[in-house]
Structure 1
Amino acid sequence: MSFVAVTDVFQSYGQRPIIERINVAVDEGEFISIVGASGCGKSTFLRLLLAQERPLRGEIRIDGAPPAQEPGLERGIVFQRYSVFPHMTVRENVVAGECFRKPWGRFFGAERKAARARADETLDRCGLDHVAEQYPATLSGGMQQRLAIGQALAAKPRILLLDEPFGALDPGTRLSMHDFLQDLRTETGMTVFMVTHDLEEAFKLGDRVLVFDKPRWDPHDPNAYGATITYDFDARDGGIPFQRLRETGMTIAEGL
């Protein structure tokens, strides 16, 4: 049985279909990259995986459980812009990520001391232990994004959802974040879904690359149909499509 099973999922906003006929099965520990043109429902798909939204039709099951009705601790998400608390120190941000597991959202006494120790372990893993007492505004873009990922990991999710997490970073920082994410994934064994507009990044990091596109198109009404998964590439060992696109310089649309 697949760890993540998406079956015949449709989603619309009002009368406008966004995605349709989404079917995909993902094994635990796989890294799934998601690419496609703007407006093709990639971020909508992440919100459905998070259970922030519920599909119009179809269902999403995690590890065979009934479809979730709301976001849960088994799924963490990181956005392009640094989703951390600016009024908290770096360590407090990571502790806050773990607080979601508490009924009252707070730790006290010995529990708080233990949570701070676990936060320090997470910060060491993220390479941020030396800035634990600083505030996010004092950190570089790459360090803030490491913190956002560390905060998401504090709740020990089984699935990590990344919505263009490196889009705002400079090229050098972006490459270092690639290494960080690959090491983290090897260490934790998490299942990862990552939306990106960078085709090379998608094939470099992903085990599979899902391409979202609209196979049906009405020139008189561009919003008449939703997008679906038009290609599901095995990206391990670089992947033939990746090599062909990089060597010829073709765009996604031309290469596919």
Structure 2
Amino acid sequence: MIEARNLWKKYGDKVVLERLNLRVEEGEFITLVGASGCGKSTFLKMLLGTETASSGELLLDGKPIPDEPGPDRGIVFQQYSVFPHMSVLENVMAARGFGRPGVTGLLFGAARQQARDEARAILAEVGLGNAESLYPGELSGGMRQRLAIAQALLGQPRILLLDEPFGALDPGIRADMHDLVLRLWREYELTVFMVTHDLTEGFYLGTRLWVFDKTRLDPQAPDAYGATITYDLPVGQMDGGKLKKIDRDLTLTARETEKAL
């Protein structure tokens, strides 16, 4: 479904990602971990279509990923992408409206009623069926993230992109969100890419763990080389020693980068 061929991403002279070669089958759940600034979110944006490759190819079903977001790719950020002046129901309906042709994204008549019905069904799926009349300011952090997930799902995407979606949540709420995302992944038959700063979370969710890290670093030119995928591991088949080694590698890279800067 997704394939990268010698993929590079640069901003001017700064190399963020280099030599990415990978294949992802439909229905996989990929978690991405790595030190801050190693290109995890950049790769997610390339999948979304808001960033383009500097060289190499990033393909969806054998064709270049469009250089703009589309309904086949939904995204959820750590910072809740909701409209504070709209109710929960209106927020989810707006996601459908913005996916339609036209400037305003307004819905009328039968289209509006269909969007309302679909939004209510999605809200029930994510556990917000009784909160549709509330506003984002009245919701807890976990409820706001459920709302953001509902927005992303309304377009019926094939690919769900999660950019550190649970980083600001308390541990108990995060565990509930893990259960929700795993259930929705299976129920909607999604292909999921999830960035996380928590190595343990990345290891225990989904089907594959990718570790983004730099394999080469020039102290005199810290931006000369980018990160690549140093580990591509099946989740659930790694011993504790491997987990500790990855953690040490990432910590060492972060320290070396800080010294170089």
- TM more than 0.5: yes
Q: Are residue 157 (structure 1) and residue 157 (structure 2) matched?
A: yes
Aligned counterpart for 1:55 among listed residues 38, 53, 68: 53
Question: 1:68 aligns to what?
Answer: 66
Q: Do 1:245 and 1:255's aligned partners in 2 also have CA atoms closer than 8 Å?
A: no
- Matched ranges for 1:241-252 at <5 A: 241=239, 243-244=240-241, 252=247
Give the 3-state SS of the residue equivalent to 1:129 in structure 2. coil
- Matched ranges for 1:46-195 at <5 A: 46-104=44-102, 105-195=105-195
Q: How many Å separate the matches in 1 of 2:65 and 2:135?
A: 38
Write the letter of the residue equivalent to 2:248. A
What whole-Å deviation, never above 9, does each CA across 1:96-134 have from its counterpart, x for those lacking one? 111233112221012111110110000000000100011
Q: Do 1:33 and 1:202's aligned partners in 2 also have CA atoms closer than 8 Å?
A: yes
Question: 2:19 aligns to what?
Answer: 21
Question: 1:253 aligns to what?
Answer: 248
Structure 1: give runs of 5+ residues left out of the alignment: none
Q: How many Å separate the matches in 2 of 1:118 and 1:255?
A: 43
Q: Are residue 41 (structure 1) and residue 39 (structure 2) matched?
A: yes
Question: 1:201 aligns to what?
Answer: 201
Q: Do 1:17 and 1:224's aligned partners in 2 also have CA atoms closer than 8 Å?
A: yes
Q: RMSD of the alignment, in Å?
A: 1.6
Q: Do 2:13 and 2:223's aligned partners in 1 also have CA atoms closer than 8 Å?
A: no
> What TM-score comes out, normalization by structure 2 length?
0.91
Q: How many Å separate the matches in 2 of 1:221 and 1:30?
A: 37
Query: What percentage of aligned pairs have identical amino acids?
Result: 54
> What TM-score comes out, normalization by structure 1 length?
0.93
Shift of 1:142: 0.4
What whole-Å deviation, never above 9, does each CA across 1:162-181 have from its counterpart, x for those lacking one? 11000000111000000011
Give the 3-state SS of the residue equivalent to 2:226 in structure 1. coil
Q: How many Å separate the matches in 1 of 2:135 and 2:250?
A: 44
Q: Are residue 5 (structure 1) and residue 3 (structure 2) matched?
A: yes
Q: How many Å separate the matches in 2 of 1:222 and 1:232?
A: 25
Q: Do 1:76 and 1:152's aligned partners in 2 also have CA atoms closer than 8 Å?
A: yes
Give the 3-state SS of the residue equivalent to 1:131 in structure 2. coil
Residues 168, 224 of structure 1: CA spacing in aligned structure 2 closer, same or farther, 3 A cutoff?
A: same
Shift of 1:64: 2.1
